[in-house]
Structure 1
Amino acid sequence: MAAKIKKGDLVEVISGPTQERGGYRGKQGRVIEVFTETDRLVVEGVNYVTKHVRVGQSDRGAKEGGLETVEAPIHVSNVALIDPSTKKPTRVGIRVEEIEKDGKKKTVRVRYAKKSGKDL
C-alpha cells in the first residue's frame, strides 16, 4: 500500500481530530520518509512529538541535549495523495504503460489520480 505514496509527494491527512481540536486532519505536507515494511510515513509538519535527547558532545565539542520536537510516522491509510490539478485529496491508481526508449519498448507502472464522484 505504501508503494502508491512516495517520498516528496504532497499528501493531506484525512483522519484523526480536526485542527480546531488540536489534530492534523486537513493539513497538507510533503512526505519526508516512507517505511514500506510497516506501511508508515513521515509527513512534514504533521504529528509532532517531543523527544528527550541525552546530553552528549558533538564533533566540535559543544554539549547538546534537552527536548526536541520531531515528526513521528503515521500510517499510510491516514493520508491521501493530492491531485495536482484540483489540489484536493484523491485516490491513486496504477496503470501499465509501454514507453519506447532508445528504440526498445519497456513496460512501466505509472501512478495516476483517480477522479472522485464530485469531480465528474
Structure 2
Amino acid sequence: MAKIKKGDLVQVISGAKPERGGDRGKQGKVLEVVPGTNRVVVEGVNYVTKHTRVGQSQRGTKTGGIETVEAPIHISNVAIVDPETKKPTRVGHRVEEVVKNGEKRTVRVRYAKKSGKDL
C-alpha cells in the first residue's frame, strides 16, 4: 500500500536550502505519482526548463519554445504533512470496521503519526 498518494500535501525534506536555490522545506500538493521509479511530481517544487520544438496546431498558431515544468522528485525526499500541526510526519495504517449498507467491512485506513520535531 502506497504511503503517498495523489492530492496529499507533502514537504521536501532533503536537498539544498532555499537560500542556495533549492526546495528544502517547501510544501506542495502531489500532482502525480510514478510508481515504477518511486517518484512524485509536487506542485511548485523542482522546476526545470523544457525546450519544445516549434510546430503548428490545427488553427495555424505556433507552438513550442521554452517553458518551465515540475520534474519528478524521489519519494524518499518528501514527507507527508500532518494536517493538524502542519509539520512533516510519518504515515501509519490501522484496521477499522466500517458499516456500509448494513454490512460490516474491515478496511485499512491511513493516518498521520504524531509529529514531534521537524523531520
- AA matched with 2:69: V
2:57 pairs with 1:46: no
2:17 pairs with 1:22: no
DSSP-derived class of the 1:60 partner: coil
What's the C-alpha RMSD, in Å, of the aligned pairs? 1.2
TM-score normalized with structure 2 length:
0.93
- AA matched with 1:99: V
Unaligned runs of 5+ in 2: none
TM-score normalized with structure 1 length:
0.92
DSSP-derived class of the 2:19 partner: helix
Q: State the shift of 1:59 in Å.
A: 2.8
Q: Deviations over 1:58-97 (max 9, x none)?
A: 2322011111110000011100000000011000111121
Structure 1 segments (4+ residues) deviating >3 Å: none
- Residue in 1 that maps onto 2:100: 101
Q: Deviations over 1:86-109 (max 9, x none)?
A: 011000111121111011111211
| Count, aligned residues | 117
Q: State the shift of 1:114 in Å.
A: 0.6
- Residue in 2 that maps onto 1:112: 111
Indicate the percent of aligned positions where both proteins have the same amino acid.
77
Unaligned runs of 5+ in 1: none
**In 2 relative to 1, CA 113–21 (structure 1 residues): closer, same or farther, beyond 3 Å?**
same
